[in-house]
Amino acid sequence: MADTLRQDTFVEFDHVQKSYDGETLVVKDLNLSMPKGEFLTMLGPSGSGKTTCLMMLAGFETATHGEIRLDGREINNIPPHKRGIGMVFQSYALFPHMTVAENLAFPLEVRGIGKSEREKQVKDALDMVQMGSFGSRRPAQLSGGQQQRIALARALVFRPELVLMDEPLGALDKQLREHMQFEITRLAHELGITTVYVTHDQTEALTMSDRVAVFDDGRIQQLAPPDELYEAPQNSFVAQFIGENNTLDGVIKEVNGGRALVQLDDGSLVDAKPVNVSKVGERTRVSIRPERVEFDMSRLEDGAHTLKADVLEFIYMGDIFRTRLRVAGNDDFVVKTRNAPDQVRLTPGTQIEIGWNADDCRALDAT
């Protein structure tokens, strides 16, 4: 792929495959390149291949086929401790019999760094994660959030160019997890560290990443910046996996340039942007985000189709209203509207009219 030929490529997977039994491929022909300083998240459900890719990059798993390169050098046969990569795990993996300072000094000792320089780098790393006064404590004396900060400091203490993170915030509570998301992103960008982050949490991926690689069935389904991933999913899997999404099944009736006319299974007609569909008669799954659906028909483009909808549920959620509708036989069609003084509060049991602009709706693959 042309992307792999860029001069600024730092991490590269070139036709990488992985099988554990010689038959089933867990990772299927992966091509991926990253420039220096990028924060890339590998996102996907369990078993999608994302963690296996991270482990191959770290050196804990061996690729069955293809090459993995770091700064232009093939690293397939280089052991993990010689790759110069920082690692952060969900389990923290701190040595319980060592103090915090000793935990951070360990990777420096392994690299033969002298005592005075070790002490300076340990102090700098602790200050970096705002844990400067905790050097003499042991891991058991720290909270989960504090242990995660120390694990992060240990990964950064020897100033690696690449840091790998495997579900590092999974054990933290919601508020602390959100705080650490911003801390990790800030540090990565301030220090210019290339970061590969693995998670199954879509919000985490969208919040933290420069780009997100969405994995399913051993392949990257889409690789894009977070806003593009959310606004312009390339297939039904990505549309459903990233954020909340409404779907309606139907058949392509017309395709005219950047517009498709879709006849839904209940006979209704809607406009959509054709993606992964190209011909009349093809089955499709129409995808529309909850915040793109309009109750006010004056906000629609001329000629846009509208649909009848039955209000099933209206939920007040503070900053937004969430309305669940029955649309074209789908009882889980959701619309999100902001909480504003002029926003109508809909009553369950009533029938209303809804619509959307074709550019906000995508006709995707049916499966």
Q: What is the pLDDT of residues 8-64, one digit of tens each?
A: 899 999 999 999 998 899 999 999 999 999 999 999 999 999 999 999 999 999 999
Long-range contacts of 27-30 (CB under 8 A, 24+ apart): 27/52, 27/53, 27/56, 27/218, 28/217, 28/218, 28/219, 29/66, 29/219, 30/66, 30/219, 30/220
pLDDT tens-digit map of 71-105: 999 999 999 988 989 988 877 788 899 999 999 99
Q: Which tokens go with 174?
A: 């919601």
Q: Which tokens go with 176?
A: 């602390």
Residue 4 has pLDDT above 50, yes or no: no
Q: 231 and 254: one domain?
A: no
Q: 194 and 155: one domain?
A: yes
The percentage of the chain sitting over the pLDDT mark of 90, rounded to a whole number, equals 68
Would you tell me how many other CB atoms lie within 10 Å of the CB of residue 233?
A: 26
The residue from 219, 236, 253 where one domain ends is 236
Confidence of residue 170 (pLDDT cuts 50, 70, 90): confident
pLDDT tens-digit map of 301-350: 887 889 999 999 999 999 999 999 999 999 999 999 999 888 888 999 99
CATH number at residue 343: 2.40.50.100
Q: 121 and 46: one domain?
A: yes
Q: 178 and 73: one domain?
A: yes
Q: Which tokens go with 198?
A: 């693995």
Structural domain boundaries, residue 355: 244-364
Going by C-beta distance under 8 Å and a sequence separation of 6 or more, which residues neighbour residue 298? none
CA-based radius of gyration for the chain: 25
- In which residue are the tokens 């991933």 written? 229
The residue from 236, 271, 305 where one domain ends is 236
Question: Which residues face 354 on adjacent strands?
Answer: 307
The residue from 236, 266, 291 where one domain ends is 236
Q: 256 and 328: one domain?
A: yes
Distances (CA, A) of 342 to 79, 239, 298: 62, 31, 15
* Average confidence score pLDDT of the chain: 91
Q: 227 and 307: one domain?
A: no
The predicted model scores a pTM of 0.89
Rounded to the nearest 10 degrees, the angle between the axes of helix 115-128 and helix 144-156 is 130
CATH number at residue 52: 3.40.50.300
Q: 270 and 193: one domain?
A: no
Q: 17 and 36: one domain?
A: yes
Average pLDDT over residues 346-360: 93
What is the domain count for the chain? 2
Q: 270 and 207: one domain?
A: no
Q: 283 and 314: one domain?
A: yes
Residue 283 has pLDDT above 70, yes or no: yes
pLDDT for res 256: 87
pLDDT for res 7: 56
